[in-house]
């Protein structure tokens, strides 16, 4: 075994006093770059440990954060364990250093940190723990032996870094302790067959991604055999801020630990009040927008149903104009304005009170679909009654990543005004920053009468939806539209914390810059694989490409999954490969995902159909 480039110090001495349980106020978490200096200070204060350079701790807390754990006491950080997974031993975590504040010695924190390390996002595959201990450090030896006993795993000393490796350094030999194999949480107990046996035939995503997922962090997921996946799916747009986003998770945990109200129908709670205030302060006011906020129930289709009912009540008309390839949800009202024939057929009843108009570029780039709509509304002989509202997605997520031009959206808003029709923007998938601005319609400069938001408004994947209406359309009588789950306070808390991302334009700018990278990668793929006969689709962080043969899109996504990338298809024939990473994905994750996608395309498109290639995306 090769010694680490820089000798690490032995873990802090605190074994032998492991019986006491740590106070419950300890919180274990993934470190961030800013914790580097805290780690360094903890090591310096410890007295027993040999500090590395301060910069080394910044790197540990940042680049190695997935294999490190910080622990906070009531007044701030009190300890950490730093580890790394050697590339040639992906099932092994090497414990680099454990640092504990002198005030916390004897609380059993060393053991707890080692256990927490196994739960760190980068340790999902770990079955062995390695650490080096000097012969004089009996406390650390006891710590690791106790850890091995607790986990019922053998503890061996297979190797030693002798003193001769540190000539003139006056450094004791380092004995290598190897603990494992470790049994990991009944991982093998849930088989894919369990879902086939017990879950309804209607299940779908588990067919596209046939594995059992056990852990998720930021833009990554892990399954029960420890395989890592880059997530280019993001819960169909519900995870714009990534899985278990540290800040949002903290807010949710704090709220629960404080016994905050969890369920409250639509009673007034502090959590809801804070969300209302913050949404106004961070989202509406800076954009000069004024809307009342309705909580229609927790899902996207709840927000759409409320919008349709409200528009009908405001205008006293039944009809709704929807657009080709629209997707608005699975309840009957939403299904009536959804294009997909397969989904519509599932209704089992006739779907009424809706008129379909061609979306932008539905016929071709030149067809003036809105002139057509205008004419249909003007012409007393067209057979189209003036509706209560028109509902539109600025980028059609499920319908094939069709992005309406801004000029088209502007003109749609004008036509709605001219014909006294309310304009509803369904921003359930394209909103919350997915296209680079909080609302997808912002670059068009329009102000819809009603806006539907769901998916990522709940921040951390919690079910949550809101329907926004201009104050003059706030006409429901008290209780006229209600439901049990409109007071999901955990979602309010996560949603409020997520709004912090919108206090400045940092995330927005990052999304816009990374969107360009995605666009270039797609264009490159299209150019290098003429056999795909593909066309670029979408904008922002909802881009992809349509293939001429729908089977290809499915095959590409399946091949990508085999290689550790999660993506889905969209479009009426599932012909579009859809790239939808969390907005918070870093450059490394984005590039990794794009490379897997490029390899999948290489594999799926017949060799004779492709030009010679240089490198992946």
How near is the Cβ of 617 to ligand PLP at its closest, in Å? 26
Cβ-closest position to ligand PLP: 300
Q: Within a 10 A sphere around the Cβ of 406, how many other Cβ atoms?
A: 15
Binding mask 409-428 for ligand PLP (x = CB under 6 A): -----------------x-x
Beta bridge partner(s), residue 176: 132, 159
Nearest residue to 485 via CA among 515, 465, 500, 510: 465
What distance in Å separates the CA atoms of residue 470 and residue 428, rounded to the nearest whole number?
A: 18
Kindly state the helix (H) or strand (E) to which residue 523 belongs, with its residue range.
helix 506-528
Give whichever of 100 and 307 is closer to ligand PLP, judged by the CB atom.
307
What distance in Å separates the CA atoms of residue 490 and residue 449, rounded to the nearest whole number?
A: 28
How near is the Cβ of 484 to ligand PLP at its closest, in Å? 16
How near is the Cβ of 49 to ligand PLP at its closest, in Å? 50
Tell which one of 178, 249, 272, 328 touches ligand PLP (CB under 6 A): 328
How near is the Cβ of 340 to ligand PLP at its closest, in Å? 11
Tell which one of 327, 439, 464, 476 touches ligand PLP (CB under 6 A): 327
Q: Within a 10 A sphere around the Cβ of 551, how many other Cβ atoms?
A: 12
Nearest residue to 151 via CA among 177, 180, 124: 180
CA atoms within 13 A on the CB side of 571: 28
Under the criterion CB under 6 A, does residue 491 sit at the interface with ligand PLP? no
Give whichever of 241 and 327 is closer to ligand PLP, judged by the CB atom.
327
Report residue 432 CA to chain centroid gap.
12
How near is the Cβ of 293 to ligand PLP at its closest, in Å? 18
How near is the Cβ of 565 to ligand PLP at its closest, in Å? 21
Produce one character per residue of 584-613: b if its CB has 16 or more CB atoms within 10 Å, e if not.
bbeeebbbbbbbbbbbbbbebbeeeeeeee
Give whichever of 432 and 616 is closer to ligand PLP, judged by the CB atom.
432
Binding mask 369-408 for ligand PLP (x = CB under 6 A): ------------------------x---xx----------
Give whichever of 331 and 563 is closer to ligand PLP, judged by the CB atom.
331
How near is the Cβ of 261 to ligand PLP at its closest, in Å? 24
Q: What is the largest CA-CA distance in the chain?
A: 98
CA dihedral sign of residues 572, 573, 575, 579: positive
Tell which one of 3, 236, 261, 356 touches ligand PLP (CB under 6 A): 236
What distance in Å separates the CA atoms of residue 391 and residue 143, rounded to the nearest whole number?
A: 63
Give whichever of 57 and 439 is closer to ligand PLP, judged by the CB atom.
439
How near is the Cβ of 34 to ligand PLP at its closest, in Å? 36
Report residue 6 CA to chain centroid gap.
36
Binders of ligand PLP among 505-564, rule CB under 6 A? none
How near is the Cβ of 562 to ligand PLP at its closest, in Å? 25
CB-based contact 79:37 (threshold 8 Å): no
What distance in Å separates the CA atoms of residue 428 and residue 414, rounded to the nearest whole number?
A: 23
Tell which one of 140, 440, 454, 569 touches ligand PLP (CB under 6 A): 454
How near is the Cβ of 428 to ligand PLP at its closest, in Å? 4
Give whichever of 272 and 328 is closer to ligand PLP, judged by the CB atom.
328
What is the β-pairing status of strands 76-84 and 68-73?
antiparallel
Angle in degrees, 0-180, between the axes of helices 369-378 and 406-418, rounded to the nearest 10: 10
Q: Within a 10 A sphere around the Cβ of 460, how many other Cβ atoms?
A: 25
Binders of ligand PLP among 285-304, rule CB under 6 A? 299-301, 304
CB-based contact 569:577 (threshold 8 Å): yes
Question: Candidates 325-333, 340-348, 529-537, 546-554 — which segment interacts with ligand PLP by CB under 6 A?
Answer: 325-333
Give whichever of 291 and 323 is closer to ligand PLP, judged by the CB atom.
323
Give whichever of 457 and 617 is closer to ligand PLP, judged by the CB atom.
457
458 token code pair: 């709940």
DSSP SS3 for 357: strand
How near is the Cβ of 540 to ligand PLP at its closest, in Å? 14
Kindly state the helix (H) or strand (E) to which residue 522 belongs, with its residue range.
helix 506-528
Binders of ligand PLP among 170-199, rule CB under 6 A? none
| Site residues, ligand PLP (CB under 6 A) | 236, 299-301, 304, 327-329, 393, 397-398, 426, 428-429, 454
């Amino acid at each position: 075994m090769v010694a680490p480039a820089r000798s690490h110090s032995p873990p802090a001495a605190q074994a032998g006093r492991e019986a006491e349980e740590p106070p419950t106020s300890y919180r274990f978490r993934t470190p961030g770059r800013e914790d580097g200096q805290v780690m360094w200070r903890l090591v310096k204060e410890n007295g027993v440990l040999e500090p590395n350079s301060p910069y080394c701790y910044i790197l540990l807390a940042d680049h190695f954060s997935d294999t490190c754990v910080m622990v906070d006491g009531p007044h701030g950080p009190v300890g950490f364990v730093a580890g790394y997974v050697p590339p040639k031993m992906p099932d092994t975590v090497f414990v680099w250093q454990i640092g504990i504040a002198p005030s916390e010695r004897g609380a059993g924190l060393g053991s707890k940190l080692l256990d927490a390390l196994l739960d760190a996002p980068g340790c999902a595959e770990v079955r062995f723990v390695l650490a080096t201990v000097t012969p004089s450090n009996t406390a650390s030896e006891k710590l690791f032996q106790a850890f091995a006993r607790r986990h019922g795993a053998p503890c061996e000393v297979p190797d030693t870094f002798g003193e001769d490796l540190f000539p003139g350094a006056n450094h004791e030999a380092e004995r290598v302790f190897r603990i494992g194999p470790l049994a990991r949480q009944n991982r093998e107990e849930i088989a894919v067959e369990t879902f086939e046996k017990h879950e309804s035939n209607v299940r779908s995503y588990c067919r596209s991604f046939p594995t059992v997922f056990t852990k998720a962090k930021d833009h990554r997921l892990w399954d029960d055999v420890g395989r890592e996946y880059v997530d280019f799916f993001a819960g169909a747009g519900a995870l714009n801020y990534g899985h278990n986003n540290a800040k949002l998770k903290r807010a949710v945990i704090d709220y629960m630990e404080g016994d905050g109200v969890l369920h409250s129908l639509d009673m007034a709670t502090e959590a809801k009040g804070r969300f209302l205030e913050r949404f106004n302060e961070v989202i509406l006011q800076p954009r000069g927008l004024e809307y009342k906020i309705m909580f229609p129930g927790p899902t996207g289709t709840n927000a759409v149903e409320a919008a349709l009912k409200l528009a009908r009540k405001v205008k006293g008309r039944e009809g709704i104009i929807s657009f080709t390839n629209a997707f608005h949800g699975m309840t009957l009202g939403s299904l009536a304005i959804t294009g997909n024939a397969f989904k519509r057929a599932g209704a089992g009843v006739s779907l009424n009170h809706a008129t379909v108009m061609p979306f932008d570029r539905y016929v071709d780039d030149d067809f003036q679909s809105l002139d057509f709509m205008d004419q249909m509304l003007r012409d007393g002989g067209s057979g189209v009654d003036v509706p209560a509202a028109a509902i539109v997605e600025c980028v059609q997520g499920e319908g094939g990543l069709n992005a309406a031009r801004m000029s088209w959206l502007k003109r749609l808003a004008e036509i709605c005004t001219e014909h006294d029709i309310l304009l509803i923007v369904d921003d359930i998938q394209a909103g919350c920053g997915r296209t680079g601005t909080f609302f997808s319609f912002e670059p068009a400069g329009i102000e819809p009468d009603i806006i539907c938001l769901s998916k990522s408004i709940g921040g951390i994947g919690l079910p949550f939806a809101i329907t926004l209406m201009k104050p003059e359309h706030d006409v429901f009588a008290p209780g006229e539209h209600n439901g049990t789950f409109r007071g999901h306070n955990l979602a309010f808390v996560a949603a409020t914390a997520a709004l912090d991302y919108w206090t400045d334009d940092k995330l927005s700018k990052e999304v816009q810059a990374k969107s360009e990278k995605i666009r270039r990668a797609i264009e490159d793929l299209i150019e290098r694989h003429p056999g795909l006969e593909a066309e670029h689709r979408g904008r922002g962080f909802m881009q992809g490409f349509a293939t001429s043969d729908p089977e290809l899109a499915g095959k590409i996504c399946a091949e990508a999954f085999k290689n550790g990338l999660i993506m889905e298809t969209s479009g009426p024939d599932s012909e579009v490969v859809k790239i939808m990473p969390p907005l918070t994905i870093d450059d490394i994750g984005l590039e990794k995902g794009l490379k897997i996608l490029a390899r999948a395309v290489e594999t799926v498109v017949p060799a004779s159909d492709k030009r010679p290639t240089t490198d992946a995306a």
